Structure 1
Amino acid sequence: MFKKNLLLFVVLLLVSCHASKSPIATTKKAVSKNTSYSQKNKRTHTSKSRSEVIESTSRTVVTNDIVSSYVLQYKDIAMSNMKTYGIPASIILAQGILESGAGRGNLAVNANNHFGIKCHADWVGDSVRHDDDSSQECFRKYNKASESYRDHALFLTGKGRYASLFTLDKDDYEAWAKGLRKAGYATDPRYPDKLISYIERYNLAEYDAIVLGTKFVPIENQNSRSVNVSSRNDGYYEVQKGDTLYSISKKYNVLVEDLKQKNKLSDNTLSIGQRLKIN
């Protein structure tokens, strides 16, 4: 009788152990498979993104996906400000991208300041210190990004030196970009080129068209742009969408290094509308 009970106990013990091990093995395989799939997708997505360096009040490395996400996040505010204050949405967004590093720059992160606006004598709100043209300059600080967008509009409409901008057509983003630089918004001589480059790469003029109720034509479909090129007679070439130093060097039969030297370029980065010395 004792032997029978012992045998029954051993059988039950073996069955119990087998039943408890099986689910654990299945769960591990499922988790491993899902993790591998997720990592594979992440690598695939990342490989499609291009990175670039945005330099304004800070040096920021972003991808084209980050810039596109920034545009989607703030386009409605930009269009609303265009309706209220008369500043092209394309200009607002391009300045936001450039001045804030697409929302990743130090001032944007630490102070919600998306336009690099300094304190000036009339500012009574919060502020932060940040190195720019001089060490530890005073910059405005906001509770949220939308306040920065509103203050940017009030800054442009309230300063007399920007009054000439509001005589320009609302769909002439090139004139607005050049006008901002001329009025003293930025000291960088390439500031207009940078704004225009963002507007044309990310089709930001589409939001101007929405506000104005006009038809938007993407820049690649505007044939008139292709003939707006400085001839070689004056010794300069105006950079167009899709141009590289290599393609320009082949077009004019000059060496890339010669182009860089003539134009004092430290790298191969070009901006749409930039004028390069060829001869």
Structure 2
Amino acid sequence: MLKKCFLFVCIIMLASCGSKKSSLSGTKVRSKQLVSKEQYRDEMRKKEQQKKVKVDYHRVTSDVNTKQELTATSTVTVTADLIQNYILQYKGIAQDNMVNHGIPASITLAQGVLESGSGQGTLSRNANNHFGIKCHKGWEGPSVRHTDDAPDECFRKYDSPAESYRDHSLFLVGRSRYSSLFELPKDDYKAWARGLKKAGYATDPKYADKLISLIERYSLADYDKEMLAIMGIPSSVYDDAYVDSSVVVTESRVDSIATKKHIVKKGDTLYAIARKYNTTVSDIQRLNKLSGTSLSIGQILKIK
């Protein structure tokens, strides 16, 4: 009887141990499964992050291919679209200055793009200075300080970009060191770009090449051709007369230039136009069949 009881107790104890072992084993299995899920989730997170990095990398690489760095008075990175928008915004002003001062629109636009960083540079944003023109002796207008070739240099400040464009033209026209530029054909942008560099407009040794590259990349010479056609000036003809009325024009030069044209701008009068082209008010009236002296902005006048 005692033996039977002892045997019964042993069986119960063994059964109890077995159930605990099974329970513990189950716990271990479940624990092992939970760890595996966490690891799986971590792996999935890593893969997702890697995918995102790859996508971002390709996006950035694509952007880099369409961006361009412009370095003049400040260094900025701009897109081709930004440059094109800048050109479209200011081409009219550049063409007006070509008529009034004889500087190719292509040169003015290329300099504006480069010097202002397509309007994104520090000087253009803070001072409306799109051409990096420094104060120089005799400047009495507002100014700002900016580090360029030397620290804290004085640069001109304008009320608007249009004022900067006008001052750029007057700056070139009014300085003797640039006088040789106005003997060049108006459609020879390469000669103008190299002439600007030679005259000392910029210290960058690649300045002329940069201007030429911009002109050719964005077809800026088309704006020169457009204005020359409107003014009736054949390609590659010297036209000192419409740049400065004080220049003596020979008969052979007049014949080669043929009929000139003038686009009326705000503030123009027949008397001022006649003086500009070394002619008379009556001659302009006769050529254009004008009975009075009233003019309209944008009106095209024949000038012989």
Which category describes the TM-score, using the shorter chain as reference length?
Answer: 0.5 to 0.7
Contact preservation (8 Å) 1:161, 1:183: yes
Change (3 A) 1:178 1:47: closer
Instruction: Verify: 1:115 aligned to 2:131, yes or no.
Output: yes
* Unmatched 5+ stretches in structure 2: 1-58, 231-304
CA–CA distance in 2 between the matches of 1:133 and 1:48? 28
Q: Which residue of 2 aligns with 1:175?
A: 191
Alpha-carbon deviation of 1:52? 1.1
- Residue 195 of structure 2 aligns with an amino acid whose one-letter code is G
**Which residue of structure 2 aligns with residue 35 of structure 1?**
none
Counterpart AA for 2:213: S
State the Cα RMSD in Å: 1.8
- Tell me if structure 2 keeps the 8 A contact 1:49–1:63: no
Question: What is the distance in 2 between the residues matched to 1:193 and 1:115?
Answer: 17
**What stretches of structure 1 move > 2 A for 4+ residues in a row?**
46-49
1:135–1:79 CA distance, 2 compared to 1 (3 A): same
Q: Compute the TM-score of the two structures, normalised by the length of structure 2.
A: 0.55
The answer to whether the Cα contact below 8 Å between 1:51 and 1:64 also exists between their aligned partners in 2 is: yes
Aligned partner of 1:264 in structure 2 is none
Counterpart amino acid of residue 205 in structure 2: P
Q: Which SS does the other structure have where 1:125 is aligned? A: coil
1:5-154 to structure 2, matched below 5 A, reads: 50-154=66-170
In structure 1, C-alpha distance between the alignment counterparts of 2:123 and 2:192, rounded to whole Å: 24
Superposed CA offset, 1:79-111 (max 9, x none): 000000000000000000000001000000000
Q: Equivalent pairs: percent with the same residue?
A: 62
TM-score normalised by length of structure 1: 0.59
Question: Matches of 1:126 and 1:108 in 2, distance apart?
Answer: 14
Shift of 1:48: 10
Aligned to 1:275: none
Q: Structure 1: any 5+ residue segments left out of the alignment?
A: 1-42, 215-279
- Residue of structure 2 in register with 1:26 after alignment: none
Could you tell me which amino acid in structure 1 is paired with residue 127 of structure 2?
Answer: A
Which amino acid is the alignment partner of residue 144 of structure 2? Answer: V
The structure-2 alpha-carbon separation of the partners of 1:203 and 1:120, relative to structure 1 and needing over 3 Å to count, comes to same
Q: What does 1:149-228 align with in structure 2 at a 5 Å threshold?
A: 149-213=165-229
Distance in 2, Cα, partners of 1:122 & 1:174 = 31
